[in-house]
């Protein structure tokens, strides 16, 4: 650095060059700027952009058949399959899950006994399982999908195992195998890396996907995601689309169109097993955190819902003070994630709302500066598909999240991509969160294309409420350019970028104030971006309205 003394003052001639060099280092070689580089939210709000559908690319939204090698059962007896990892609330704990034994489907099913096979994980910091190996046992369960109607086939799962590993070191590679050593049914050796310690300086690389399904498009999405090497994956709802099938295995792109006279909305549960087998190449190495979508409802006898979702994934519900698999929270480095349920009561008297109040009150922004919300149905959506569908959820929860200073919100449900400007209550607001919809994972229902603001596309308000949750809150806009109307007559100013294409996203938080968001399209090479922006926090400008702290809910795994 060059110094020059004039009139008793020291002037740092090289100061600005030093700052630019420092920024280039901090942000991985990218100088953050609005002109000629990666834009930042500080450059916004942006003029709305719509990228029209590329008619030459509609993808291959056809489900993988049951005889595809990637979904067939390749193990014998009670050897583990469908292996996956998920996080607990803190870096020192993870869950290992798997399935043993095959499913049954038909008129005369006989559920397996979960106690007949042990749930054991052997693990350590060296690849050899003969050295420095620890052993932990967990629990197992089965679930059934039962229908009280003649001609519909019932289903019972294989034995699903969940084992929690605790006392783990941060940012460390662990090797593991799972199964039941007493009957010599252990998996091969896999590995995972724990999250870094929660602090303003530590952040994992996060892949975000929604509405995956199990199509040839899905395989492209997952392959692109794996090549981008995330440390953690968020699945923002709608995993398998098993409910696009009858129990005899007959499927359709549109259940209500093809099967309008069925006595109950059937599902073909083996699609869950197919999906678990296909996803193992990713989920056995990279933790996946899921939240429920509408395709996980899967109603059955006695009005039971979400049975497969709740049984197959491990959730840090208890660790985060939640009483339900439908909502929970966790830390990943310097990010606190709140995973909310769009298909369970969310009004201000509900258990979920009260839990959310407590959870937000306990967030320490000096430890986890970034606060990210995740749920399935988007509040800010300009497509005809699911337009204003969960307005009641937005009305109930938006103010609470805004006051807490939520930075980013990720959703799925709409099979397209959309990123908003910072917004609150449909109004541009520099302190509102950025809403990002990534329901474009590749499922067989195909892409959403029509926009509600285009001539003739505005839906009838009475048709918009979510049929499962019920309730109507979607009224006309009361102010702004769309005042008195149910839809805008052009792309709304809160919508910054939208495009109908399949893909996935990568979130890379760089420090306490800057996070790089990149959306990747399936038709591009894996490291090319379809949309990219630095999301910038301004804690000085947007102070958090801190609720009164409550009794701490989280328990360290140590």
Burial of 358 (0-12, 13-18, 19+ CB in 10 A): middle
- Asked whether the predicted pLDDT for residue 6 surpasses 50, the reply is no
277: part of which helix (H) or strand (E)?
Answer: helix 270-283
For residues 184-201, average pLDDT: 97
pLDDT tens track for 109-136: 999 999 999 999 999 999 887 777 899 9
Nearest to 553 by CA among 359, 401, 367, 369: 359
Mean pLDDT score of the chain = 91
Which tokens in the block code for residue 232? Answer: 């953690």
3-state secondary structure of 451: strand
For residues 217-230, average pLDDT: 96
- Asked whether the predicted pLDDT for residue 99 surpasses 60, the reply is yes
pLDDT tens track for 427-442: 999 999 999 999 999 9
What is the C-alpha separation between 145 and 242, in angstroms, rounded?
12
Residue 130 has a pLDDT of 77
Helical residues (DSSP H) of 314-380, grouped into ranges: 351-361
CA angle 314, 176, 224 (to 5 degrees): 70
Active site residue 162: no
What is the C-alpha separation between 160 and 176, in angstroms, rounded?
18
Task: List the catalytic residue out of 161, 162, 386, 415.
Answer: 386
Helical residues (DSSP H) of 8-93, grouped into ranges: 15-26
What is the C-alpha separation between 201 and 334, in angstroms, rounded?
7
Burial of 364 (0-12, 13-18, 19+ CB in 10 A): exposed
Whether 235 and 210 have beta carbons less than 8 Å apart is answered as yes
Long-range contacts of 121-125 (CB under 8 A, 24+ apart): 121/96, 121/163, 121/165, 121/176, 121/177, 121/178, 122/176, 122/177, 122/178, 122/181, 122/186, 123/165, 123/174, 123/175, 123/176, 123/177, 124/174, 124/175, 124/176, 125/169, 125/172, 125/173, 125/174, 125/175
Residue 57 has a pLDDT of 65
pLDDT tens track for 282-292: 999 999 999 99
Residue 15 has a pLDDT of 38
- Asked whether the predicted pLDDT for residue 176 surpasses 60, the reply is yes
DSSP string, 195-253: PPPSSTT---EEEEE-S--SBHHHHHHHHHHHHT--SEEEE-S----GGGB-TTS-B-S
Nearest to 146 by CA among 281, 307, 279, 25: 307
Cα→Cα distances 492→264, 294, 488, 554, Å: 38, 26, 6, 40
Whether 101 and 161 have beta carbons less than 8 Å apart is answered as no
pLDDT tens track for 449-466: 999 999 999 999 999 999
Residue 54 has a pLDDT of 79
Which position has the token pair 């749930």?
119
Please state the φ and ψ torsions of residue 249, each to the nearest 5 degrees. Answer: 95, 5
Which tokens in the block code for residue 521? Answer: 């399209």
Lowest-confidence pick of 79-93, 411-425, 522-536: 522-536
9: part of which helix (H) or strand (E)?
Answer: strand 9-12
Instruction: State yes or no: cis peptide before 45, omega within 30 of 0.
Output: yes
Please state the φ and ψ torsions of residue 21, each to the nearest 5 degrees. Answer: -60, -45
Cα 135 → chain centroid: 30
Give the CA dihedral 460, 461, 463, 468, nearest 10 degrees: 170
Nearest to 170 by CA among 202, 129, 138, 200: 202
What is the C-alpha separation between 145 and 515, in angstroms, rounded?
42
- Asked whether the predicted pLDDT for residue 299 surpasses 80, the reply is yes
Residue 446 has a pLDDT of 87
For residues 486-501, average pLDDT: 97
- Asked whether the predicted pLDDT for residue 477 surpasses 50, the reply is yes
Give the CA dihedral 319, 320, 324, 325, nearest 10 degrees: -80
Nearest to 233 by CA among 224, 243, 244, 225: 225
Residue 55 has a pLDDT of 72
Nearest to 253 by CA among 213, 291, 309, 223: 213
Nearest to 268 by CA among 239, 238, 298: 298
Whether 168 and 193 have beta carbons less than 8 Å apart is answered as no
Residue 58 has a pLDDT of 61
Cα→Cα distances 344→319, 465, 486, Å: 20, 15, 26
pLDDT tens track for 498-529: 999 999 999 999 999 999 999 999 988 767 89
What is the C-alpha separation between 461 and 475, in angstroms, rounded?
7
Lowest-confidence pick of 269-273, 305-309, 349-353, 522-526: 522-526
Nearest to 101 by CA among 132, 64, 55, 141: 141
Which tokens in the block code for residue 129? Answer: 């399982």
% of the chain with per-residue pLDDT over 90: 86
- Asked whether the predicted pLDDT for residue 27 surpasses 90, the reply is no
Whether 339 and 208 have beta carbons less than 8 Å apart is answered as no
- Asked whether the predicted pLDDT for residue 552 surpasses 80, the reply is no
């Amino acid at each position: 650095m060059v110094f020059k003394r004039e009139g008793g003052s020291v002037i740092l001639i090289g100061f600005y060059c030093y700052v630019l060099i420092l920024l280039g280092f901090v942000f991985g070689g990218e100088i953050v700027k609005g002109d000629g580089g990666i834009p930042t939210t500080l450059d916004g709000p942006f003029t709305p952009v719509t990228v029209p559908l590329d008619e030459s690319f509609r993808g291959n939204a056809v489900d993988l058949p049951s005889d595809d090698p990637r979904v067939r059962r390749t193990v014998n007896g009670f050897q583990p399959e469908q292996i996956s990892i998920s996080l607990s609330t803190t870096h020192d704990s993870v869950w290992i899950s798997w399935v043993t034994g095959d499913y049954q489907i038909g008129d005369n099913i006989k559920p397996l006994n979960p106690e007949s096979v042990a749930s054991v994980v052997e693990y350590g910091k060296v690849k050899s399982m003969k050295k420095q190996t620890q052993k932990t046992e967990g629990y197992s369960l089965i679930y059934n999908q039962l229908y009280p109607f003649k001609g519909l086939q019932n289903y019972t799962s294989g034995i699903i195992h969940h084992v929690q590993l605790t006392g783990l070191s941060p940012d460390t590679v662990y090797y593991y195998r799972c199964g039941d050593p007493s009957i010599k049914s252990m998996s091969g050796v896999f590995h995972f890396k724990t999250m870094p310690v929660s602090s303003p300086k530590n952040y994992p690389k996060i892949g975000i996907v929604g509405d995956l399904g199990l199509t040839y498009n899905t395989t492209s999405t997952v392959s692109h995601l794996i090549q981008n090497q995330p440390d953690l994956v968020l699945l923002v709802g709608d995993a398998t689309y098993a409910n696009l099938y009858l129990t005899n295995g007959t499927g359709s792109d549109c259940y209500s169109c093809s099967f309008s006279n069925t006595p109950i909305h059937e599902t073909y549960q083996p699609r869950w097993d197919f999906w678990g087998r296909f996803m193992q190449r990713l989920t056995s190495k990279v933790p996946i955190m899921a939240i429920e979508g509408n395709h996980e409802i899967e109603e059955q006898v006695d009005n039971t819902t979400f049975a497969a979702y709740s049984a197959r994934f491990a959730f840090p519900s208890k660790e985060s003070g939640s009483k339900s698999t439908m909502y929970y929270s966790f830390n990943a480095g310097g990010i606190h994630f709140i995973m909310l349920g769009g298909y369970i009561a969310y009004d201000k008297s509900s258990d979920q709302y009260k839990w959310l109040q407590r959870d937000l009150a306990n967030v320490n922004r000096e430890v986890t500066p970034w606060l990210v919300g995740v749920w399935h149905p988007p509040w800010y959506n300009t497509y005809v598909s699911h337009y204003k569908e969960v307005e009641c959820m937005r009305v109930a929860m938006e103010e609470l999240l805004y006051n807490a200073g939520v930075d980013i919100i990720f959703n799925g449900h709409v099979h397209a991509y959309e990123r908003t400007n910072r917004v609150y209550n449909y109004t541009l607001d520099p302190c509102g969160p950025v809403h990002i919809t990534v329901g474009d994972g590749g499922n067989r229902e195909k892409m959403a294309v029509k926009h509600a603001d285009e001539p003739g596309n505005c839906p009838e308000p009475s048709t918009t409420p979510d049929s499962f949750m019920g309730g109507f809150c979607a009224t006309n806009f009361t102010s702004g350019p769309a005042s008195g109307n149910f839809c805008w007559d052009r792309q709304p100013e809160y919508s910054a970028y939208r495009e109908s294409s399949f893909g996935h996203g990568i979130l890379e938080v760089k420090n306490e104030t800057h996070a790089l968001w990149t959306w990747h399209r399936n038709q591009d090479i894996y490291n090319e971006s379809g949309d990219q922006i630095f999301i910038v926090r301004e804690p000085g400008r947007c102070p958090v309205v801190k609720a009164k702290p409550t009794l701490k809910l989280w328990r360290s795994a140590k």
